[in-house]
Amino acid sequence: MPYIWLLIFFLAPFAIIFKISLADPIIAQPPFTPSFNDAGDFQGTADNFAFLLTDKLYAITYLKSVFMATIATVLCLLLGFPMAYGIARASPATRSLLLLLVVLPFWISFLLRVYAWMGLLNNYGVINNALMWMGLIKQPLQLMYTDLAIYIGLVYSYLPFMILPLYATLERMDLDLLDAAQDLGASRTQAFWDITWPLARAGVIAGCLLVFIPAMGEYVIPYLLGGPESLLIGRVLFDEFFVNRDWPMASSVAIVLLLLLVVPIVFLQRSQAKNAEGAT
Amino acid sequence: MKARSRFVLSMLVFGYAFLYIPLLSVIFYSFNDSALATVWGGFSTRWYAQLLQNRQVLDAAILSLRIAVTSATLATIFGTMAGMALTRFGRFRGRTLFTGMITAPLVMPEVITGLSLLLLFVSLQQFIGWPSQRGFSTITIAHTTFAMAYVAVIVQSRLVAMDQSLEEAAMDLGGRPFRVMFDITLPLIAPAMVAGWLLAFTLSLDDLVIASFVSGPGASTLPMLIFSKVKLGVTPDINALATLIIVFVSVGVVLAWLVIRRAQRKTG
């Protein structure tokens, strides 16, 4: 039963996207021509893909999305790893409270969390007001509608996705190994890189992928926090669809995005399958 | 040794400050009397009063809640079945595809899921005339589809951790598979199902992108309404609405946490 449900509502749509991505746009309802005529002959076109590959704007957008998602992932890791480490090493009672505090924002509407940052980063927002009040700056800093704002939004929204898998691996780790390493004369840094890091690697990989993949297709954060020139691929897709009403183009954009993400997604599933086997 | 833990501690403090300052500032400013959202004009609750009279907001909230309850329930039923199929049936035809379909919605960017579902609904409409109108039913189907993946994963991990000998013992004592399922398996995985339902419920309430794709004219969920307002900037009544949601969710999560902790203490 769920199998059929998924087949209908998950797999079939992709076939349709693919079909429409080959179609020509026409201004009608629905706005595309059929790619197969009644006799079943193929009469679609690969124009959309050709355009996608030759047009500089799209290439730049894809690259920029990959770039920004990567930076956001690295920032999440830099902040998330010490946090997960600290949580995993805390006493059990504090640990559960600290975890709750990480998970809590995740339950609060994503949109509202991004909205909260709009209030902070605004030209007359909290941060600028505070800085001006302290006399550090005379003019409000332009914080909203910048790439910096997008990074903040991405890291803020996806930090729990990084912390939780990291915590899971760090918590399972056998602390005696560290003691043993130090008894054998390893320095703390050495012990960290030789023992903690390799053991945490599964968590690092899972966390990075869990941040990177959704960050690639992010629409709301660049729309609300980024400026009009911050074209990321999720936003291009959305606009192509809702503003230009060019459904075939939007479908093509989606297919290419999907192809870009297939590698990390398969990778994630592999590592998770391995984890599951290791756990049982 | 000292330097290291001080570093970890400062990162923790910084991280939590990073997570909570934005939320606290929204709550703080929701009590601002001034119509300019970021200039402090004295304490007031007038935005809350205004919010409660706003029909649009109330309608959207009710629609969102209806969708969330329906899709969370459906997702829990399907997700539990899927989780059982994955852990108990061993190998069956199409298992790899099935596993893939379960995990893919978890990570798929929302824009892709939303677009693909909308295109499906459009073609369905062309072929069989249903759904003639996009709104409640289409959003519910869409939310069920991606939420059941989350439920399936939660139920699956619970089933894997569960002691299978209980089921085997019940079977040995002559329980029919159906009885065993209802008397043994379901009560044991009930906590996971509750957790899955709650997660599906929140995900549905939270979703903006997929709902915008599959919704039609006239049906806007609460996130869609908030988004259309937020586009124009920070406004005090959204601050008030956000505060209500934040407080509501926080109380719910903390209560759930306390209940779980007490239950764990009892058994542990």
DSSP string of B12-79, one letter each residue: HHHHHHHHHHHHHHHHHHHTB-SSSTTS---B--HHHHHHHT-HHHHHHHHHHHHHHHHHHHHHHHHH
Residues within 8 A of B (CB atoms), A 9-48 only: 9-14, 16-17, 20, 30
Of residues B213 and A42, the one with the higher pLDDT is B213
CB pair distance less than 8 Å for B242 and A124 = no
Tell whether the model's pLDDT for residue B158 goes beyond 70: yes
pLDDT at A26: 39
B119 interfaces chain A, CB cutoff of 8 Å: yes
Of residues A70 and B183, the one with the higher pLDDT is A70
Residues of A in contact with B205 (CB under 8 A): 109
pLDDT at A74: 92
A68 interfaces chain B, CB cutoff of 8 Å: no
DSSP code per residue over B237-252: HHHHHHHHHHHHHHHH
- pLDDT-derived band at B53, boundaries 50, 70, 90: confident
Residues of B in contact with A111 (CB under 8 A): 206, 208, 223, 226-227, 230
B96 interfaces chain A, CB cutoff of 8 Å: no
CB A231 within 8 A of CB A58: no
Residue pLDDT, tens place only, B241-256: 888 888 888 888 888 8
CB pair distance less than 8 Å for B85 and A159 = no
pLDDT at B73: 92
Closest Cβ opposite residue A188 in set B1, B208, B246: B1
Cβ-proximal residues to B255 (8 Å cutoff; 6+ apart), any chain: none
Residue type at position B125:
Q
pLDDT at B69: 93
Pick from A233-237, B12-16, B155-159, B187-191: least confident = A233-237
pLDDT at B168: 81
Per-residue pLDDT of chain A (280 residues; tens, 9 = 90+): 555 655 555 555 555 555 554 444 433 334 454 444 444 444 455 566 666 666 677 778 888 888 888 999 999 999 888 888 888 888 877 888 888 888 888 777 778 888 888 877 877 777 777 777 777 777 777 777 778 888 888 898 888 888 888 888 888 777 777 778 778 877 777 877 877 888 788 888 888 888 888 888 787 888 888 776 667 777 777 777 777 666 777 777 777 777 777 777 777 767 666 665 554 3
Tell me what percent of the residues of chain B surpass a pLDDT of 70: 85
B112 interfaces chain A, CB cutoff of 8 Å: yes
CB A163 within 8 A of CB A75: no
Closest Cβ opposite residue A17 in set B98, B115, B231: B115
Residues of A in contact with B250 (CB under 8 A): 104, 108
B40 interfaces chain A, CB cutoff of 8 Å: no
Q: How far is B181 from chain A (nearest CA, A)?
A: 17
Cβ-proximal residues to A279 (8 Å cutoff; 6+ apart), any chain: B160
Residues of A in contact with B101 (CB under 8 A): 6-7, 10-11
Q: How many CB pairs under 8 A join A and B?
A: 227
Q: How far is A41 from chain B (nearest CA, A)?
A: 19
In this structure, what token pair is assigned to residue B155?
Answer: 């139920």
In this structure, what token pair is assigned to residue A110?
Answer: 């994503």
Q: How far is CA A132 from CA A125, A129, A139, A148, B135, in A?
A: 11, 5, 7, 20, 47
- Mean pLDDT, residues B231-237: 74
